[in-house]
Amino acid sequence: MDKAKEYIELINSKINRLLELSVQGIHQAAQVLADTLQNNKTVYVFGTGHSHMFAEELFYRAGGLAAIHPILETPLMLHDSASSSTKMERMQGYASIIAEKYGFSAGDLILIASNSGRNGVCIELALEAKKLGLTVLVLTNMKQAENSTSRHLSGKLLHQCADLVLDNLGDPGDAAISIEGLSSKISPTSTVMGSIILNAVVAQAVQIMINNGYIPEVFRSSNLDDGDKINEKYIEKYKKEIHSL
């Protein structure tokens, strides 16, 4: 059997399900994102492990919004120590340190991505953000959540701490392709589906802002001749407040 074709067809089927089931949620998330930017509030994006890539996907990206504040904490990412990051994402108390470091304030928006939605740091950060008056948008795998228990002392899963939830339509365990002779499935779907969902949210949010007469700041590819000139203006504006710039 052609497993490459099977995986591509699986992704295509999930995209079709996304169009059928999740357009309303994407539009709701887009409205919240547009409102946050139009009110000159801050948009944070956070994830641990592979989910940290969504913060990078929306940050400093050609065709992406300039006013995105990624939360990229090295101990929770993979490049320093992948095994250590797994331990760190389960640690209690880390989220309050992150909230203080990044200066959360009421009216801000935080997008928290976690495929499992069960580990402590993401749940704790969502609870801390809500306590501080932020809107909490979550990207997670609801089928996984239905088969999981929380690793946080609250007993809650991430989606239970959110104002709005985006489902990546994944399978439990994320990997989705079975191969005879191999006990574990391969080829996860959360990254490709999450990127599609979040870029759809951004596209719709920009349309909402334009309709409202608000022109959002959007990065241009630095490989286009006018890219550097346009981008330097945004970098200069945000470099003091966006840590990763």
Residue 47 located in a structural domain: yes
Pairing of strands 109-114, 68-71: unpaired
CA distances from 213 to 42, 43, 140, 166, 186 (A): 20, 20, 32, 27, 46
Q: How many CB atoms lie within 10 A of CB 41?
A: 16
pLDDT at 217: 97
Mean pLDDT by 10 residues, the chain (245 residues): 94 96 95 98 92 92 96 64 53 77 94 91 94 97 90 89 97 94 96 97 98 97 92 94 88
Is 245 among the domain residues? no
| CATH code for position 228 | 3.40.50.10490
Segments forming the whole domain that contains residue 114: 24-238
Domain-embedded: residue 94: yes
Q: How far is CA 188 from CA 14, 173, 184, 185, 230, in A?
A: 12, 8, 11, 9, 36
Residues 103 and 112: their CA atoms lie apart, in Å, by: 16
202 backbone dihedrals φ, ψ, rounded to 5°: -60, -45
- Quick check: is 199 in a domain? yes
> Looking at residue 87, what is its pLDDT?
45
In a domain, 244, yes or no: no
pTM (2 d.p.): 0.92
pLDDT at 236: 95
How many domains, the chain? 1
Q: Is residue 125 part of a domain?
A: yes
At residue 95, the pLDDT reads 80
For residue 27, the model assigns a pLDDT of 97
Q: Other C-beta atoms within 10 Å of 32: how many?
A: 19
Structural domain contains residue 106:
yes
Q: What is the pLDDT of residue 96?
A: 83
Tell me the C-alpha distance between 244 and 230, whole Å: 18
Residue 15 lies in a domain: no
Supply the pLDDT for residue 94. 74
